[in-house]
Amino acid sequence: MMTPSSNVHGFCRASCRVCWFSSSPPTSSLLPWISPLHYREAAASKMDLLAEPSGVQKESQRKLKFVSHELAIHSITHERDPQRALEIFNMVSDQRGFSHNHATYSTILHKLAKCKKFQAVDAILNQMRYETCKFHEAIFLDLMKQFSKSSQYDRVLDMFYYIQPIVREKPSLKAISTCLNLLIESGKVVLAQKFLLDSKKNFNLEPNTCIFNILVKYHCNNGDIESAFAVVKEMRKSDISYPNLITYSTLLGGLCKSGKLQEAFELFEKMVSEAGILPDALTYNVLINAFCSQGKVDRAAKIIEFMKKNGCNPNPYNYATLINGYCKEGRMQEAKNSFDEMKIHGLKQDRVCYTVLINCLCRTQRIDSAMELLMQMKDDGCKPDTITINVILGGMCREGRFEEALQMLERLPYEGVSLNKGSYRIVLNLLCKEGELEKATGLLVLMLGRGFVPHYATSNELIVCLCMAGRPADAANALFGLLEKGLKPESSTWAVLLEFTCRERKLLPAFELLDELVIVES
């Protein structure tokens, strides 16, 4: 494993400057945007990189205004080009009396790491080892996340081991839990286990409850309940890592996911009676969801009643889970009763609850009732989101009510309702499937005009269907529109279009298609 002391990319001790090499191996030449911390000869000519937030011009161009830490941070943050951001960082340090601090270092490191300029990050980290200002480990928590996003998991560990020599304090338990969680979520379990052992040995850090909970979650997500309970057994050996509500909720979820509802109930009772931990609405919802998933909605409803009697008020999420369970069993009246019960108990019916019920109405071919509920949703001040609208559109199309669906697509953006590409694709897919080519072509024009592209398979299907219907000209227009949006049709689609164009003895359009095909393929 790489250690901080061994990672000295380009630090020139003689001049105390940080050199930025390219992303290629160390033998490559230097980039022109090296990062020495002193640019005296170039500072005056390049200070125009620093724009005043207010945009007010200076009265005198001869005398440069002193750039504060706040302005430097603002300029670096809003600079898109990492090279120019680094130049700003370098130039402000050339001012008399200016020294970089935690905030400026944190800003430039975040910028460089986000742009994946990791060798530049290494160079600046090595410079930080010689700074006298106080640093905080938050810099390294951010860098761990950036390296994890780039799948450089060894470097995640490097950032952890940089904390002590630069911050001059041993890493906190938060740093350990952050590093461990990133490794676990990335599936680097062996590396995570070795890291835990090293942390205990080198820093004398005892894992706390949060750290152990990460391991419990990992084993439960992988269906290894036995290992999860083994971790809990280890937790009980220390006062700082005793199992808490999150631990038990995770175990309950793991048991329910494995279909072990009886064991889950037994653990629930032990949590309350032996550990003295009272469940919250989220913990109860694990059981509610488990019973609904197993088709035992009546038992899920009893848990809601149990919650009320034991002083834990159900939240909208609990009711949404129960309503969804009723809907899956086709018990619409019970679902509606639970929905109305929320208002009786002073709970605001949110988008999730409305959407669950609307979806059930659409699935049971009750579109008019779904539309009434949508209007009620708006009257209650609950704005429908894209998911709600897509559910309605799907229900309309399945019943062949394409005109209404198309009118909604046309109208809703002007009413402040956001649509996504799925909204258009749902309708277009079903139009193609039902052979409604005229409507499909009109919708394609609307989609492309609003910057949305159909699904790849649907695009090819639409072009072929238009050809089969004797409309190769419309098919060609559709194809050219799709090409402009970057979609590359299948070769078989080109072949069908060329064949039908030639059948109509329209050689010029055929040659135009061939020319376009050559351009696309090249």
Structure tokens at 329: 């069993």
Structure tokens at 507: 């050689």
Secondary structure (DSSP) of 229-270: HHHHHHHTTSGGG---HHHHHHHHHHHHHTT-HHHHHHHHHH
Structure tokens at 131: 């700074």
Would you say residue 179 has pLDDT above 90?
Answer: yes
pLDDT tens-digit readout, 121-161: 999 999 999 998 999 999 999 999 999 999 998 899 999 99
Q: In which band, very low, low, confident or very high, does the pLDDT at 447 lie, cut at 50, 70 and 90?
A: confident
Contact 287, 306 (CB under 8 A): no
Beta partners for 30? 21
Average pLDDT of the residues in 457-462:
78
The DSSP 8-state label assigned to residue 338 in this structure reads H
Would you say residue 61 has pLDDT above 60?
Answer: no
Name the residue among 73, 166, 76 with its Cα closest to residue 127.
166
pLDDT tens-digit readout, 226-264: 999 999 998 988 878 899 999 999 999 999 999 899 999
User: CA-CA distance, 372 to 388, in Å (whole number)?
Assistant: 13
Contact 69, 101 (CB under 8 A): yes
The DSSP 8-state label assigned to residue 17 in this structure reads E
Residues 6+ apart with CB under 8 A from 206: 200, 238, 240, 241
| Residue 401 to residues 376, 392, 398, 436, Cα–Cα distance (Å) | 21, 11, 8, 12
Would you say residue 45 has pLDDT above 70?
Answer: no
Task: Report domain extents, the chain.
Answer: 1-135, 279-384, 385-443, 455-522
| Helices and strands, number each (H, E), in the chain | 27, 2
Name the residue among 210, 209, 211 with its Cα closest to residue 195.
211
- Say how far residue 369 (Cα) sits from the centre of its chain: 34
Largest CA distance in the chain: 86
Would you say residue 39 has pLDDT above 50?
Answer: no
Which SS3 state, helix, strand or coil, does residue 16 take?
A: coil
Contact 423, 432 (CB under 8 A): no
Residue indicated by tokens 């931990």: 277
Secondary structure (DSSP) of 391-410: HHHHHHHHTT-HHHHHHHHH
Q: Is the pTM of this model over 0.85?
A: no
- Of the CATH numbers 3.30.390.50, 3.30.1330.10, 1.25.40.10, 3.30.1320.10, which one belongs to the domain with range 279-384? 1.25.40.10
